[in-house]
């Protein structure tokens, strides 16, 4: 048994040997996805797809609570619409997949497989908005989008990915800005509470903002190799789209005014973020809120009378307590094999029940996050484990947050910056010039991540050019 | 007020004047969808989209209960995969939208925007299935698909539509046939229980079956103009796809065997079916299970002290009872206007509360299906209305089923058939020849719908050619 266990575990490349290979190993061995014959496109297998469904549920609940409604827009967008906003088309045109033929008919106008849907939303908003009474419109859609990426990696960067995109229309600039902030906070809250993932919130530089936005805000997570992963973005467009798309409303005073718009999105990248925030040598470590199974129940000495029956009974009780439970009653693999497999798949809690446990009216409970093991009474086990889930989430957040803090440093010159971004975030003063961002990118492959809302200066001069600087910026290498 | 009401209602074209225009009026005035600048593609607005979400929930729950798992496959399919199954490509190629360019790169091979996903599923199944231990695989995906239709109508036939497609792999022919039947019954059960929509279940003719299937089964609903609407299909492929795609498994006996496969789907067409099964002169009539709001609460004399507060309180109590409730507290339209609007939108129950109702500790409750109006005590109103929902569903089913029975007739010659399909289903004996189907199509624009499982003969000769016949077939005009 010990040998088999050893063998199973060593299939995963150690994180410190090759983090990138470790990631690929976890993604495939935990059966989250598979590669397909379609260039850069993945298939989400049941386990990975279920994680995405749970992410959707958690986000969608928050969208409803903040007054949003779901809609479904066409997946194809005529080229002429894409061309209406100059910065936008410049940003997205290079990575658009084009439909040029429909059935036997060669199309007069190419259709883009949507890379994002601002242009079609704005086209419809121009139809749907007439007066101030129609505002705000706060819509969201769940769909997949397509970007013709050169190099792809499962969940992190795929030609097709699944996401939600919120699109809202407001009467005033203030309301649009408030919406942008509300949704940034929705993402932060979701990341912290459900993904146990601490994030940096702040504003993007002009260079890094969304093509067509007036201002982009992001939540940035830190992976265990110290690199950044942009986990959600919220854009304030001002009137950048409403002017070319003619989205206007008649005000209470009877004046025709341009609307103020926002958009915001989060995607299947979040699954990559979860893996690289929490995973370890044994594989995936899932936060309970988005774990397809929160508890796996493994019978020990299952051939002994009454064991399987007891396990089924306990599984049912745990389900009644509101937990997602897998009873692994396979008879062709050993309990040890199952332990390894479910650890690899990141199930938060394993419960083992054998004849001796039954005798004692207890079960052996093992936490995935701490590997703590304890014999706990079967009576009230559901309630115990429900509480344990909260404790696991809190502990996973604490561990990730300590890592994040330990790998974030203030830097005051380029040498320090270069060293820091090798394994973490560098906080630095920045003059605001794109030239300095380019220089940092060229020398260290690091990019500006965002400017935190707390802009208390940590110095007076730009980390790069040495000129007077009044912006605090996080720099890091990024996925 | 009376005038305004009159005016509001007359916007809808009467059903008997022009059923097709009535349908279009309801679809747009109930704010379910809107037309877009993308040829044949619609946008689902919040109200229509919410109906689809509720349909999804009802179906998905049944899919889970019957042991299926959701996955997500790429939306683009390389042409070479599509070409592997001859009948399949012949059936779908004429209506495929083709991606020929990715970014700046002209593609070596065209990619189809999926019209359906058998070919990509089978490609992945060939990777995923090795031995009998891997079987069955019972997968489903929720997505949109694209078919380049010449003429389109909202929900009924759109270039892009939203659907689910189940794809399963089995070791034996028996298991595949059992799965095909199980899923047909899932559709039937869902249609009856949640959509209050009676259906004809049976097998399609070879002419009408799915391109590539060995056998196709369908549920067929009857619209109020007597026409048929195919509301769900379940296909048994046998080994038709597993052979060209090489989906094989190693049996317990160590022999390599071809798998037996199925697929089954239902789509946003169901929304069209609901409209045309239940709607009336006032508009939409929604079955409670898929109504975005099951109850709308309209304050009467809302300016009077305490009315709005009481309404908010009652709304909260009804929500606690598990009902989806809309409190319409708009102050710029009259109660009468609201009554009409929510009738048009098909909300099953309207609750009116004014000062006199509050005094009596009661509320005026009006059913959309029967227009029955009664003053009911506020105490226990939640429970009362929850029960009323079941009653409404049962009544809507009963009315639709009576209509269906009244518009279904046995026919014994072509004259009778031609007359019957002008406003209903014709049950007839059929020899099984495609030539007779073609003749019926040419003369009456009617098609074979399906062969009921009860094949007790109603005659001995084919309704068309007069030769010996042993198949009972339903014929009807169809959407």
Give me the pLDDT at residue B177, please. Answer: 98
Cα-Cα-Cα-Cα dihedral sign, residues B243, B245, B246, B251: negative
Give me the pLDDT at residue B307, please. Answer: 96
Of the candidates B38, B95, B124, the beta carbon closest to that of A111 is on B38
What's the number of CA atoms in the CB half-sphere (13 Å) around residue B296? Answer: 25
In whole angstroms, how far apart are CA B328 and each of A134, B46, B290, B336, B353? Answer: 15, 17, 20, 12, 11
Residue of A nearest to B35 (CA): A124
The Cβ of residue A173 has, within 10 Å, a number of other Cβ atoms equal to: 13
Residue of A nearest to B37 (CA): A78
pLDDT in tens, B26-56: 999 999 999 999 999 999 999 999 999 999 9
Cβ contacts (< 8 Å) between A106 and chain B: which residues?
Answer: none
**DSSP H/E element including A6:** helix A2-9
Q: Which has the closest alpha carbon to A245: A155, A125, A391? A: A125
Residue of B nearest to A81 (CA): B37
Q: Do residues A363 and A314 touch, judged by C-beta distance below 8 A?
A: yes
What is the mean pLDDT of the segment spanning A390-407?
98
What is the mean pLDDT of the segment spanning A359-371?
98
Q: Is B344 helix (H, G, I), strand (E, B) or coil?
A: helix
Residue of B nearest to A48 (CA): B71
Across chain A, which distance is largest between two alpha carbons, in Å?
A: 81
Q: What is the domain partition of chain A in residue ranges? A: 8-278, 295-388, 408-476
pLDDT band at A10 (very low <50, low <70, confident <90, very high): low
pLDDT in tens, A11-57: 899 999 999 999 999 999 999 999 999 999 999 999 999 999 999 99
Single pTM value for the model: 0.96
Cβ contacts (< 8 Å) between A94 and chain B: which residues?
Answer: 103-104
Q: Of A99, A165, A271, which to mutate for an interface test with B (greatest number of B Cβ within 10 Å)?
A: A99
Cβ contacts (< 8 Å) between A252 and chain B: which residues?
Answer: none
Of the candidates B34, B69, B99, the beta carbon closest to that of A46 is on B69
CB of A54 within 8 Å of any CB in chain B? Answer: no
Yes or no, beta carbons of A36 and B98 under 8 Å apart = no
CB of B95 within 8 Å of any CB in chain A? Answer: yes
Yes or no, beta carbons of B73 and A139 under 8 Å apart = no
CATH architecture of B17-278: 2-Layer Sandwich (3.30)
CB of A155 within 8 Å of any CB in chain B? Answer: no
| % of chain A beyond a pLDDT of 70 | 98
Residue that has been written with the tokens 């010990």 in this structure: A2
* Strands of A104-214, DSSP E: 105-113, 137-146, 160-170, 199-203
Of the candidates B44, B46, B99, the beta carbon closest to that of A113 is on B99
pLDDT in tens, A407-465: 999 999 999 999 999 999 999 999 999 999 999 999 999 999 999 999 999 999 999 99
Yes or no, beta carbons of B133 and A103 under 8 Å apart = no
In whole angstroms, how far apart are CA B282 and each of B14, B272, B326, B333, B373? Answer: 9, 16, 19, 19, 16
* Residues recorded for chain A: 479
Residue of B nearest to A126 (CA): B36
Q: Does domain A8-278 have CATH number 3.40.50.1370?
A: no
Residue of A nearest to B96 (CA): A103
Yes or no, beta carbons of A98 and B94 under 8 Å apart = no
pLDDT in tens, A313-359: 999 999 999 999 999 999 999 999 999 999 999 999 999 999 999 99
CB of B146 within 8 Å of any CB in chain A? Answer: yes
Q: Which residues 161-190 of B are in CB contact (within 8 Å) with A?
A: 162
Q: Is the pLDDT of residue A211 over 70?
A: yes
Yes or no, beta carbons of B43 and A124 under 8 Å apart = yes
CB of A24 within 8 Å of any CB in chain B? Answer: no
Residue of B nearest to A73 (CA): B43
d(CA A350, nearest CA chain B) in Å:
22
User: What is the rounded distance in angstroms from the CA atom of residue B190 to the CA atom of residue B184?
Assistant: 10
What averages of pLDDT result for each successive group of 10 residues across chain B (479 residues)? 47 94 97 96 98 98 98 97 90 94 94 97 98 97 95 96 98 98 98 98 97 96 98 98 98 98 98 98 97 98 93 98 98 95 98 97 98 98 98 98 98 98 98 98 98 98 98 98
User: What is the rounded distance in angstroms from the CA atom of residue A353 to the CA atom of residue A365?
Assistant: 9
Cα-Cα-Cα-Cα dihedral sign, residues B471, B476, B477, B479: negative
Q: Is A469 helix (H, G, I), strand (E, B) or coil?
A: coil
User: What is the rounded distance in angstroms from the CA atom of residue A126 to the CA atom of residue A145?
Assistant: 23
Q: Do residues A183 and A58 touch, judged by C-beta distance below 8 A?
A: no
In whole angstroms, how far apart are CA A247 and each of A167, A280, B28? Answer: 13, 49, 21
> Could you tell me the end-to-end alpha-carbon distance of chain B, in angstroms, rounded to an integer?
39
Cβ contacts (< 8 Å) between B124 and chain A: which residues?
Answer: 34, 36, 43
**DSSP H/E element including A34:** strand A33-35
d(CA A415, nearest CA chain B) in Å:
38
Q: Which residues 276-305 of A are in CB contact (within 8 Å) with B?
A: none
DSSP string computed for B417-469: HHHHTTSSEEEEEE-S-HHHHHHHHHHHS-EE--EES----S-SB-TTT-SB-
Yes or no, beta carbons of B74 and A38 under 8 Å apart = yes
Give me the pLDDT at residue B3, please. Answer: 44
**What average pLDDT does chain A have?**
96
Q: Do residues A357 and A363 touch, judged by C-beta distance below 8 A?
A: yes
DSSP code of A39?
T
**What average pLDDT does chain B have?**
96
Cβ contacts (< 8 Å) between B143 and chain A: which residues?
Answer: 144
Which pair of structure tokens corresponds to residue A230? Answer: 């942009």
Residue partners of B82: CB distance under 8 A and separation at least 6: B88, B89, B92, B93, B96, B112, B119
Give me the pLDDT at residue A206, please. Answer: 97
* Residues recorded for chain B: 479
Residue of B nearest to A99 (CA): B99
* Strands of B199-307, DSSP E: 199-203, 215-222, 228-238, 248-250, 256-258, 260-267, 295-299
Residue of A nearest to B138 (CA): A46
CB of A113 within 8 Å of any CB in chain B? Answer: yes
Cβ contacts (< 8 Å) between A69 and chain B: which residues?
Answer: 46, 49-50
Which pair of structure tokens corresponds to residue A266? Answer: 């989060």
DSSP string computed for B80-92: HHHTTSHHHHHHH
Yes or no, beta carbons of A101 and B97 under 8 Å apart = yes
Yes or no, beta carbons of B71 and A77 under 8 Å apart = no
Residue of B nearest to A46 (CA): B71
Q: Do residues A42 and A35 touch, judged by C-beta distance below 8 A?
A: yes
User: What is the rounded distance in angstroms from the CA atom of residue B82 to the CA atom of residue A373?
Assistant: 52
Pairing assessment for the beta strands B425-430 and B408-410 based on DSSP bridges: parallel
Q: Is B307 helix (H, G, I), strand (E, B) or coil?
A: helix
CB of B102 within 8 Å of any CB in chain A? Answer: yes
Cβ contacts (< 8 Å) between A84 and chain B: which residues?
Answer: none
Which pair of structure tokens corresponds to residue B327? Answer: 């409190």
Cβ contacts (< 8 Å) between A77 and chain B: which residues?
Answer: 38
d(CA B175, nearest CA chain A) in Å:
21
Q: Which CATH class is domain A295-388?
A: alpha beta
Q: Do residues B424 and B465 touch, judged by C-beta distance below 8 A?
A: no
Of the candidates B69, B75, B77, the beta carbon closest to that of A144 is on B75
Q: Of A33, A35, A38, A152, which to mutate for an interface test with B (greatest number of B Cβ within 10 Å)?
A: A38
pLDDT in tens, A165-200: 999 999 999 999 999 999 999 999 999 999 999 999
Q: Which residues pair with B106 in a beta bridge?
A: B101
In whole angstroms, how far apart are CA A391 and each of A110, A182, A288, A375? Answer: 53, 27, 10, 17
CB of A67 within 8 Å of any CB in chain B? Answer: no
Cβ contacts (< 8 Å) between B89 and chain A: which residues?
Answer: none
DSSP string computed for A348-359: SEEEEE-HHHHH
Yes or no, beta carbons of B72 and A139 under 8 Å apart = no
CATH architecture of B408-476: 2-Layer Sandwich (3.30)
Q: Do residues A266 and A231 touch, judged by C-beta distance below 8 A?
A: yes
Q: Which has the closest alpha carbon to A446: A411, A417, A410, A412? A: A417
B63 phi, psi to nearest 5 deg: -65, -45
Q: Which residues 199-258 of A are in CB contact (within 8 Å) with B?
A: none
User: What is the rounded distance in angstroms from the CA atom of residue B12 to the CA atom of residue B4?
Assistant: 14
Pairing assessment for the beta strands B228-238 and B248-250 based on DSSP bridges: unpaired
Which pair of structure tokens corresponds to residue A430? Answer: 């920045």
Residue partners of A230: CB distance under 8 A and separation at least 6: A218, A219, A220, A269, A449, A478, A479
Q: Of B49, B121, B331, which to mutate for an interface test with A (greatest number of A Cβ within 10 Å)?
A: B49
In whole angstroms, how far apart are CA B30 and each of A136, B53, B268, B280, B341? Answer: 20, 17, 16, 13, 8
pLDDT band at A8 (very low <50, low <70, confident <90, very high): low
CB of B106 within 8 Å of any CB in chain A? Answer: no
């Amino acid at each position: 048994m010990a040998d088999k266990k050893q063998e199973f575990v060593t299939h995963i490349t150690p994180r410190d040997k090759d983090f990138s290979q470790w990631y690929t190993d976890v993604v495939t061995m935990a059966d989250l996805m598979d590669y397909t014959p379609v260039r850069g496109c993945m298939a989400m297998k049941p386990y990975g797809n279920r994680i995405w469904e749970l992410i959707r549920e958690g986000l969608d609940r928050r969208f409803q609570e903040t007054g949003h409604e779901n809609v479904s827009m066409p997946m194809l967008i005529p080229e002429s619409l894409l061309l209406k906003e100059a910065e936008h088309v410049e940003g997205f045109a290079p990575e658009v997949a084009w439909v040029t033929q429909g059935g036997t008919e060669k199309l007069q106008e190419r259709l883009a497989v949507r890379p994002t849907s601002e242009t079609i939303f704005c086209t419809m908003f121009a139809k749907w908005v007439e007066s101030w009474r129609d505002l705000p419109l706060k819509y969201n859609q769940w769909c997949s989008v397509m970007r013709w990426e050169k190099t792809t990696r499962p969940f992190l960067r795929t030609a097709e990915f699944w996401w939600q995109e919120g699109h809202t229309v407001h009467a005033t600039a203030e309301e649009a800005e408030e919406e942008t902030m509300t949704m940034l906070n929705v993402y932060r809250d979701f990341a912290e509470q459900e993904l146990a993932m601490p994030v940096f919130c702040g504003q993007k530089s002009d260079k890094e903002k969304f093509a067509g936005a007036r201002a982009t805000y992001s939540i940035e997570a830190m992976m265990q190799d110290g690199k950044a992963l942009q986990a959600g973005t919220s854009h304030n467009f001002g009137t950048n789209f409403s002017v070319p798309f003619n989205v206007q409303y008649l005000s209470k005073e009877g004046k025709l005014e341009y609307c103020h718009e926002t958009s915001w999105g989060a995607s299947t990248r979040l699954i990559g973020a979860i893996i690289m925030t929490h995973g370890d040598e044994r594989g995936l470590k899932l936060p309970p809120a988005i774990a397809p199974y929160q508890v796996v129940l493994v019978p020990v000495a299952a051939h002994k009378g009454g064991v399987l029956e007891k396990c089924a009974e306990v599984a049912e009780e745990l389900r009644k307590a509101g937990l997602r439970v897998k009873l692994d009653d396979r008879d062709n693999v050993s309990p040890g094999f199952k332990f390894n497999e479910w650890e690899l798949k990141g199930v938060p809690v394993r419960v083992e029940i054998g004849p001796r446990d039954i005798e004692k009216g207890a079960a052996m409970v093992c936490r995935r996050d701490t590997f703590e093991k304890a014999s706990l009474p079967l009576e009230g086990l559901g309630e115990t484990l429900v509480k344990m889930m909260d404790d696991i989430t809190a502990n996973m957040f604490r561990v990730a947050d300590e890592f994040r803090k330990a790998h974030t440093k203030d830097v005051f010159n380029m040498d320090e910056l270069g060293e820091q971004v090798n394994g973490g975030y560098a906080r630095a003063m920045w003059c605001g010039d794109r030239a300095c961002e380019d220089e940092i990118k060229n020398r260290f492959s690091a990019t500006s991540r965002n400017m935190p809302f707390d802009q208390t200066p940590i110095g007076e001069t730009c980390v790069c050019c040495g000129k007077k600087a009044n912006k605090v910026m996080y720099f890091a290498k990024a996925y």
